[in-house]
Amino acid sequence: MRLNIDRLTALAVLAPSVILLAIFVYGFIGQTFYIATTNWQGLGISDISSVGLRNFEQLFIGSGLPFFRFREALVNTVVFTVLFIAASLSLGLLLAILLDQRIRAEALFRTIFLFPMALSFVVTGTVWRWLFSPRSGLNTLPTLFGGAPLPPDQWAWFTDRRQLITFTWADASRLVLIAIIIGLLAFAAIAAARRRPVQALIAGMIGLSLIGWVFLGGAFEALGNVVRPAHGVNLAMFSIVIAATWQMSGYTMAMYLAALRGIPEELREAARVDGCNELQVYRYIVLPLLQPITLSAMIILGHISLKIFDLIYVMAGGDNLRVDVPGIHMYLTAFRGNNFALGAAIAVIMLLLVAFVIVPYLVNAFRTEVRR
Amino acid sequence: MTASALPRHTAHALRRRSFTRLAIYATLIFWAIIYLIPIYLVLNTSLKPRAEVSLDQVWAPPQQVSADAFIAAVEKLSPNFANSIILTVPATLLSAVIGSLNGYVLSKWRFRGANIVFPLMLFGMFIPYQSILIPLFQLMSQLRLTGTLWSLILTHVVYGLPITTLIFRNYYAEIPDELIEAGQIDGANFFRLYTQVVFPLSLPGFVVVIIWQFTQIWNEYLFAVTLADPLTQPITVALSQLAGGQAIDFSLQMAGSFLTALPTLFVYILLGRYFIRGLLAGSVKG
């Protein structure tokens, strides 16, 4: 009897949190999905009507500045995510391995590498805006050693207008679509070979219907009509990557360091006895053991970079298209431009991108936990 | 192996070893300097009198140290600093206490479906907040809370629940179930078990969660810029607006940045060990 009352109490204690999160996370997400399918502009306007998926269609193939801007932001986010993850992982791993060599003053070094994590992105943005201002900051650092300052037009940092690689939206999205279709069909084939008919069927169906949509439904032609060709890898984005890496690489360092400390010394010792030199110990023993950490770090950094907002907004302002990202575009569209429907549509796409990274991770984490 | 070969071989190995050590320290010091460059620039600029700040002389140490920029920054930002304190302290404590109770339920009173409910709760800490921002703003307007600190406190408590629950759940998993069972045999109920057995063991968990939440809420920008009005602006919003003026006063901005960073930096340097634990807890598998 006692136990039953206690069980009920436990559920009652958890219930308010569950209800609050149900409303504030899932209810609100549902509402955002709904708003994204309307034409709602501005607060207090009563004649809201449904427009179906038109807002999404416009974002991907519409002509007009807000839609071009969205696509530019999407390209920028992909570039940023790839560079930022690569930089943070490699720098974090390097520092962690160095700190794992029985270093004197290790705690001091650790503190120095990790302190930017304690700062607000707003502080980082304010400080790095100045470090990157073309007529001052890093460009004048050589003067400290008697050199000449770097020329501002060559070293424009986040105000740089140059692009490394340029491509049209049509080409890029066609390529991505084809890659997704090939991926899905390959997944279906593998699942079929492993006798998982349900997975094979679902992946195969989605893949085939995508093929149908692309070739019969006219998706490729529609993409061909998209104007404004010049998207690309923007040089300005590298400045954002540097500032973000300065702030976040300490995090990957901490993750790698914790993992390195978890590798039993006997393992390395055994490898040394077998004739491995120190480099080979890392190559064949340590690095393979760090792989799961690399995956976790990629997912954590990836979801941070897909929703990045404040760092870029404070550093470069909201109007620099070369470093625009969906987080900024959504905020300005909804809360400055009062176009709530389009803002919601951008937000939905951000959510889908993040969910694509996070949901498999959560599912996997809890599946292994149940098995344990 | 002859007697004389051994020392020579050892000496060679030692020399190689000390060269490697030197390279390791040199690399570490190089990167430490890189990481500290922004700090140097912040302090250097904010300690200069305004007249001495010129664009091409930012790296030269100040001719004379001046506290003017700091005094100006304190004058300008102290209302916002106060707003941030008023909002961060209750939001942190509330989300910590609720997270502790949730963690206790999820680790010691596991129920059917907990393995579905908990990941669904956790998803809330990964979502881009843009995807809930419009409905959140609508709700706060309907409750007539926009522009008040209450809206920010409520928001931060709710969206802080996933991480605080996660940290406490993993922390309480370390408390042996036998302790709870022994208490039950003694006739202790749900709340007595919490106050007598679980809570007294929770101090490190609370330190981790409070530091984490304090840092997150203090540093937050998107909710703050959406929900606050000019009177209730937290310090991050005010700092971002210091740059908005006509003549950009860099020494004021840098002093403002330092002021904004001070509380979280202080906590980090004082309690870094716990900060790192919160950091690593964010990667779900505790």
Considering the domain architecture, whether residues B38 and B73 belong to the same structural domain is answered as no
Tell me the nearest-neighbour CA distance from B244 into chain A, angstroms. 10
The per-residue pLDDT for A361 is: 87
Q: Which of A336, A304, A305, A307 is nearest to A319 (CA)?
A: A336
C-alpha pair distances (Å), A291 with each of A47, B151, B168, B284 = 54, 42, 27, 16
Choose among A122, A136, A303: nearest Cβ to B126.
A303
pLDDT digits (tens, 9 = 90+) for B234-268: 999 999 988 765 557 788 999 999 999 999 999 99
Q: Give a yes or no: residue B62 inside a domain.
A: no
Identify the residue whose tokens are 């520092």: A95
Domain residue ranges in chain A: 68-168+226-339
> pLDDT-based confidence at B285, cuts 50/70/90?
very low
Contacts of A123 in chain B (CB under 8 A): 219, 236, 239, 257, 260-261
Read off φ and ψ for residue A54, nearest 5 degrees.
-55, -40
State which residue of chain A sits closest to B33, comparing Cα positions. A112
CB proximity under 8 Å: A 17-46 to B: 17-18, 20-21, 24-29, 31-32, 35, 43
Considering the domain architecture, whether residues B150 and B119 belong to the same structural domain is answered as yes
Considering the domain architecture, whether residues B147 and B237 belong to the same structural domain is answered as yes
CB contact under 8 A, B134 and A101: no
Choose among B106, B126, B250: nearest Cβ to A130.
B250
Q: Which CATH number describes the domain made up of A68-168+226-339?
A: 1.10.3720.10
Choose among A25, A91, A115: nearest Cβ to B124.
A25
Please, what sign has the CA dihedral across residues A288, A292, A293, A296? positive
Interface test with A, best of B132, B166, B177 (most A CBs within 10 A): B132
CB contact under 8 A, A130 and B254: yes
Ranked by mean pLDDT, the top range of A143-147, A241-245, B45-49, B182-186 is: A241-245
CATH, residue B150: 1.10.3720.10
β-pair partners for A163: A234
**Number of structural domains chain B divides into:** 2
Apex CA B181: angle with CA B176 and CA B187, to 5°? 145
Sequential pLDDT tens for chain A (372 residues): 456 888 899 999 999 999 999 999 999 999 999 999 998 887 566 678 888 899 998 898 888 888 999 999 999 999 999 999 999 999 999 999 999 998 889 999 999 999 999 999 999 999 999 899 888 888 888 888 888 888 888 888 888 888 888 888 888 888 888 999 999 999 999 989 988 888 889 889 998 988 888 877 777 777 776 766 678 899 999 999 999 999 999 999 999 999 999 898 888 889 888 888 888 899 888 999 999 899 989 999 999 999 999 999 999 988 888 999 999 999 999 999 999 999 999 999 999 999 988 988 888 888 776 655
Considering the domain architecture, whether residues B130 and B243 belong to the same structural domain is answered as yes
Considering the domain architecture, whether residues B94 and B198 belong to the same structural domain is answered as yes
Contacts of A109 in chain B (CB under 8 A): 28, 32
Q: Name the residue range of residue B23's domain.
A: 5-46
CB contact under 8 A, A246 and B35: yes
Cβ neighbour number for residue B21 with a 10 Å cutoff: 14
Q: Give a yes or no: residue B58 inside a domain.
A: no
Considering the domain architecture, whether residues B167 and B96 belong to the same structural domain is answered as yes
Interface test with B, best of A14, A132, A319, A366 (most B CBs within 10 A): A14
State which residue of chain B sits closest to A371, comparing Cα positions. B115
Interface test with B, best of A1, A20, A25 (most B CBs within 10 A): A25
DSSP string, A250-263: HHHHHHHHHHHHHS
DSSP 8-state code for residue A216: T
Choose among A21, A112, A365: nearest Cβ to B32.
A112
Considering the domain architecture, whether residues B223 and B182 belong to the same structural domain is answered as yes
- Does A207 lie at the interface with B, CB-CB under 8 angstroms? no
Helix (H, G, I), strand (E, B) or coil at A324: coil
Amino acid at B122: L
Considering the domain architecture, whether residues B245 and B125 belong to the same structural domain is answered as yes
CB proximity under 8 Å: A 184-203 to B: none
The per-residue pLDDT for A44 is: 62
CB contact under 8 A, A258 and B280: yes
Q: What stretch of H or E contains B213? A: helix B203-219
Contacts of B128 in chain A (CB under 8 A): 306-307, 327, 347, 350-351, 354
| Cα separation, A155 vs A129, whole angstroms | 14
Helix (H, G, I), strand (E, B) or coil at A166: strand
The per-residue pLDDT for B244 is: 61
> pLDDT-based confidence at B4, cuts 50/70/90?
very low
Considering the domain architecture, whether residues B230 and B260 belong to the same structural domain is answered as yes
Q: Give a yes or no: residue B60 inside a domain.
A: no
What pTM value is reported for the model?
Answer: 0.91
Higher pLDDT, B27 or A278: B27
Q: Give a yes or no: residue B231 inside a domain.
A: yes
DSSP string, A18-81: HHHHIIIIIIHHHHHHHHHTB---STT-----B-TTHHHHHHHH--SHHHHHHHHHHHHHHHHH
Considering the domain architecture, whether residues B33 and B119 belong to the same structural domain is answered as no
Q: Give a yes or no: residue B51 inside a domain.
A: no
Whole-angstrom Cα Rg for chain B: 26
C-alpha pair distances (Å), A274 with each of A210, A281, A284, B12, B13 = 53, 10, 12, 22, 19
Contacts of A31 in chain B (CB under 8 A): 134-135, 138
Taking residues B147-154, report their average pLDDT. 94
CB contact under 8 A, B215 and A118: yes
Burial class (CB in 10 A: 0-12, 13-18, 19+), B106: buried
Q: Give a yes or no: residue B286 inside a domain.
A: no
The per-residue pLDDT for B2 is: 45
Considering the domain architecture, whether residues B101 and B143 belong to the same structural domain is answered as yes
| Cα separation, A248 vs A245, whole angstroms | 5
Contacts of B199 in chain A (CB under 8 A): none
- Does A56 lie at the interface with B, CB-CB under 8 angstroms? no
Q: Give a yes or no: residue B189 inside a domain.
A: yes
Taking residues B128-154, report their average pLDDT. 94
Judge whether B280 and A254 are in contact, CB under 8 Å: yes
Q: How many CB pairs under 8 A join A and B?
A: 275
* Token pair in block for residue A3: 């136990």
| Cα separation, A192 vs A348, whole angstroms | 33
Burial class (CB in 10 A: 0-12, 13-18, 19+), B258: buried
Q: Which of A333, A227, A230, A260 is nearest to A92 (CA)?
A: A260
CB contact under 8 A, B257 and A307: no
C-alpha pair distances (Å), B105 with each of A230, A360, B26, B223 = 55, 26, 50, 29
ipTM entry: 0.90
Is the model's pLDDT at B8 over the cut of 70? Answer: no
* Token pair in block for residue A83: 């560079």
Judge whether B222 and B130 are in contact, CB under 8 Å: yes
Exposure of B4 in the CB half-sphere (CA atoms within 13 A):
0
Q: Give a yes or no: residue B270 inside a domain.
A: yes
Considering the domain architecture, whether residues B102 and B150 belong to the same structural domain is answered as yes
